[in-house]
Amino acid sequence: MSPRQRYFAIAGTLLLASCGGLPRALRTEIQTENERLQNAERRFARSQDAVREDLAQARELFEGASVSTEWPARFRAARAKLDTAESDRRELAGLQHARGRDAAMRAERLLNDERHQRQSAMDEADAIESAATRWLDFQRNLPHYLAKMRGRVRCN
Percent of the chain with pLDDT over 90: 69
Burial of 121 (0-12, 13-18, 19+ CB in 10 A): buried
Question: pLDDT tens digits for the chain (156 residues)?
Answer: 666 665 545 644 444 445 558 999 999 999 999 999 999 999 999 999 999 999 999 999 999 999 999 999 999 999 999 999 999 999 999 998 888 999 999 999 999 999 999 999 999 999 999 999 999 998 888 777 677 777 777 766
Residue 133: how many other CB atoms lie within 10 Å: 13
Helix ranges (H only) for 58-141 are: 59-62, 67-95, 101-140
| Integer Cα distance of 145 and 109 in angstroms | 48
pLDDT in tens, 97-106: 888 999 999 9
Domain ranges for the chain: 22-155
